Structure 1
Amino acid sequence: MSGHSLTIPPPHRMPGHTDALAARTPPHAPMRRPRDAARLVPAMALLALGACSSFIPAGGPRLVDVQAGARTQSGNPGPIERPTLGYTLITLDPGNVASLAAEPSRRRFSDLSSNAGATDVRIGIGDIIGTTIFEAQRGGLFIPTEPGARPGNFVQLPAQQVNREGTITVPFGGTVRAIGLTPSQLERAIAERISDRALEPQVIVTIQERRSNAVSVTGDVTNSVRFGIDPGGERLLSAIARAGGPRFPAHETMVTLQRGPVSERTLLADVLFDPRQNVQLRQGDSVIITREPRHFLALGAVGQSASITQLNRRFPFEDRQLSLADAVARAGGLQDDRANPEAVFLFRYERAETLRRMGLEPPADAPVEVPTVYRADFTNPTTLFLTQRFPMRNNDLIFVSNSPFTDYQKFIAIILPFTQAGAQARAIGG
């Protein structure tokens, strides 16, 4: 039988009839049994998976792709085979997670702002000043014209506004510079100016209306306000309360403090949580309240991948702080039939000094913020504890890679129609 095809007449045919399949078979090519062809399908699939992985559909990079593209790595390194953005791959361990958890995840008001005490209220251009001058004895400059009209020897000057030159006018004293002085300093200046004519003058100065260097609170508040700081000082939260409070939850509200050329910002929830961030305000400060919800993205083989409504892979924080475990749970967890639990990745731009604190030395040409990929192995029970302490940041991207078996299933789904078509063709031809 070697070199010739074996023809077996079908049961319903007469032995003398010729099989159509044998008639089309080359004279020296043996015919493969169907079970032999069936054995070849898994082998072909495995070979194709290794040689043509880019041919199989996927929702993003696989584990080997992420490892191969890293410039520097910590944990399980992979080969560098192609030019990339130069990101760093870090496998979660107790050391690097503790370093990240101890680092503030958001910008805070500087020590200069948070440690500043209440400042004296200074007089500025446009302020309305009230002045009262007392004399210690009778017969001075300010004797009442009518005897018994009022007790005491004093005069209350009409309220006047500090002019562009920063001065006010005092009878018998002339022009007195007021800008930049506190009320008590201006009192001493006026008393000294009229001391050679008045009898032991004593002066009381009040700021009746403050129009210079007032504090303003605006943005997403109930009512924008502008007011002068009280002599006792004004803190950030009390200023926001003057404006009726924020219009949105504290975990979605950013507070920007503008002081001269410097602008700093932090989350309102952090100000409520940390009393040191409830800073003292100064004249001329501007407080701007804005709504800035924080989000993270979850792609790949996460639980929320099928819905009767439109899918949204952009998830809000909805809290002051969020851990990686919280984020994965909010995204629906990992898909049992698709996910590779060893290949859960988080993509973010990490500060170079943060990487140095974790024991990594970024390249000399690395930018201030280094593209960084954190890898979590969910098959390791320790990793599940670490993810509860790993802090999420705004715009973080979580990607869960497909398991190799999923790619195998996809390849089988691709080649199966061709094998079925071939079998049908043979059946029709037979």
Structure 2
Amino acid sequence: MAVSVAVSVALAGCNLLPASGPYSVEVTNPATQDTDGLSYKLVPLTAQVVSVLSTMDSQGLIGTFRNDRRPVPDIKIGVGDIVGVSIFEASSGGLFIPAEAASRAGNFVDIPTQTVDVNGNISVPYAGQVRAAGLQPAQVEKEIVERLRNRAIEPQAVVSVKSQRSNSVTVIGEVSAPVRFPLTPTGERVLDAVSRGGATSSKGYDLFVTLQRGGREATISFNRLVREPANNVYLQPEDTIYIFSRPRTFLAFGATGKQGQFNFDNDAISLSEAVAKASGLVDAQADPQSAFLFRIENRTTLERMGVDVSNLPEKRIATIYQVNFREPTGYLLSTKVPMRDKDVLYIGNAGSVELTKFLNLVLLGALTVESMTNTNANLYGVN
């Protein structure tokens, strides 16, 4: 009877055995890499793979906005700006300066300040509607003078922006004072916008700055923004700066000393540091050849590694990186792999652990059958 139970358990397969995750063979077997319609790529951690991964997080703001490296934005008049126009004439008795002007100071007249209308125009007496939006003040001055040349006495014009509303940057998010401020010809950078919004109480490695511009955006940690001046790029009109705090975390499962969710508590941590945060591999349980890092990877990143993704149409592909901690190089390579927010670390069990579980289950079944046999014998008097 006991033998029959043992055989039944063996035929039932490993699914009867308790486990904290998939068996290593299920992860590495290509036949299982299309589970529930979700295909994934298994990528062994090699020097080539690490060389790609170690540079992926170094793009920052300068990587996304590499073509927008103008040191100072070209500030132009825009719709909604308030401008002032002053017109000068060479002598009195002209179009704007009366003959008795000798009794007043100066030979100019100030046109009342006005807002650039929705059509991008301002109104100048005797010159009509003058285009201003999209032009620099000097260009508008030239157009006004051209229109008044045959009517005023050697006219000159000065156009000044009294209040700039179109060439502004917005700062929002977890700041003490959300603000929208105009850019100046001297040029403002991202950290200038952060200081305008006011400091927060969040730790620098949990604070992030997102720059949105023309349908593109990039995010960088505050500490890295301060540490790498190249990422402190110049702002452009209509930029939006979003500041927020979010502790970055990773998950650890399987044969690790501790399981659960762990905070980075730093600007960046490596795969080896993540394993250490989870208290390493359990010596009596873990298979050091079966350490896996789960994440969603960009298709272009996998292509740079030489991974064949021709059979997958997605731009972002489920990826499992396999690390062999039985080899010394596994530890060396893992020190150069930066963890990403919400990564999943899984350490598989050694084969001997699964065998022990199976034998214990068989032994439990045999003891149960033996106990039932003895009970029946006592009840019915069977020797």
Relative to the length of structure 2, the TM-score reads 0.83
Please, which of 309, 314, 333 is the counterpart of residue 362 of structure 1? 309
| TM-fit CA distance, 1:59 | 0.7
| Unaligned residue ranges in structure 2 (runs of 5+) | none
Compared CA separation, residues 363 and 180, structure 1 to 2 (3 A): closer
Structure 2 Cα separation of the partners of residues 62 and 186 of structure 1: 73
| Equivalent residues of 2:9, 2:362 under 8 A apart | no
| TM-fit CA distance, 1:145 | 4.8
Task: Encode CA deviations 1:242-300: one digit per residue, 9 max, x unaligned.
Answer: 1114563443344333334x131222344334433333322222222333433211111
> Is 1:190 aligned to residue 144 of structure 2?
yes
Please, which of 319, 341, 349 is the counterpart of residue 394 of structure 1? 341
Partner of 1:67: 28
> Is 1:403 aligned to residue 355 of structure 2?
no
Structure 2 Cα separation of the partners of residues 250 and 200 of structure 1: 60
Partner of 1:74: none
| TM-fit CA distance, 1:319 | 2.3
Please, which of 199, 222, 245 is the counterpart of residue 176 of structure 2? 222
Correspondence 1:195-214 to 2 at 5 A? 195-214=149-168
| Unaligned residue ranges in structure 1 (runs of 5+) | 1-36, 71-79, 306-312
> Is 1:327 aligned to residue 281 of structure 2?
no
Partner of 1:29: none
| TM-fit CA distance, 1:371 | 2.3
SS of corresponding position for 1:384? helix
Correspondence 1:204-353 to 2 at 5 A? 204-245=158-199, 248-260=202-214, 262-269=215-222, 270-305=224-259, 313-353=260-300
> Is 1:374 aligned to residue 326 of structure 2?
no
- Kindly report structure 1 stretches of 4+ aligned residues shifted beyond 4 Å: 47-51, 105-109, 143-148, 415-421, 423-430
Partner of 2:40: 87
Partner of 1:100: 53
Structure 1 Cα separation of the partners of residues 311 and 354 of structure 2: 39
Structure 2 Cα separation of the partners of residues 245 and 252 of structure 1: 13
Percentage of identical aligned residues? 37
Higher helix content, 1 or 2? 2
| TM-fit CA distance, 1:392 | 1.5
Q: Relative contact order: is structure 1 or structure 2 higher (C-alpha 8 Å, sep ≥ 6)?
A: 2
User: Which residue identity lines up with residue 282 of structure 1 in the other structure?
Assistant: Q
| Equivalent residues of 1:250, 1:267 under 8 A apart | no
Compared CA separation, residues 246 and 82, structure 1 to 2 (3 A): closer
| Equivalent residues of 2:81, 2:115 under 8 A apart | yes
State how many pairs are aligned: 369
| Equivalent residues of 1:135, 1:200 under 8 A apart | yes
| Equivalent residues of 1:125, 1:166 under 8 A apart | yes
| Equivalent residues of 2:249, 2:264 under 8 A apart | yes
Structure 1 Cα separation of the partners of residues 9 and 372 of structure 2: 24
Compared CA separation, residues 193 and 245, structure 1 to 2 (3 A): farther
Higher strand content, 1 or 2? 2
Correspondence 1:144-183 to 2 at 5 A? 145=100, 147-150=102-105, 152-183=106-137
Structure 2 Cα separation of the partners of residues 403 and 339 of structure 1: 5
| Equivalent residues of 1:345, 1:400 under 8 A apart | yes
User: Which residue identity lines up with residue 51 of structure 2 in the other structure?
Assistant: A
SS of corresponding position for 1:256? strand
> In angstroms, what is the RMSD of aligned CA positions?
3.2
Structure 2 Cα separation of the partners of residues 111 and 319 of structure 1: 25
Partner of 1:142: 97
| TM-fit CA distance, 1:327 | 0.8
| TM-fit CA distance, 1:314 | 1.9
| Equivalent residues of 2:289, 2:323 under 8 A apart | yes
Structure 2 Cα separation of the partners of residues 326 and 169 of structure 1: 66
| Equivalent residues of 1:126, 1:162 under 8 A apart | yes
Partner of 1:131: 85
Structure 2 Cα separation of the partners of residues 247 and 225 of structure 1: 18
| Equivalent residues of 1:114, 1:278 under 8 A apart | no
| Equivalent residues of 1:256, 1:289 under 8 A apart | yes
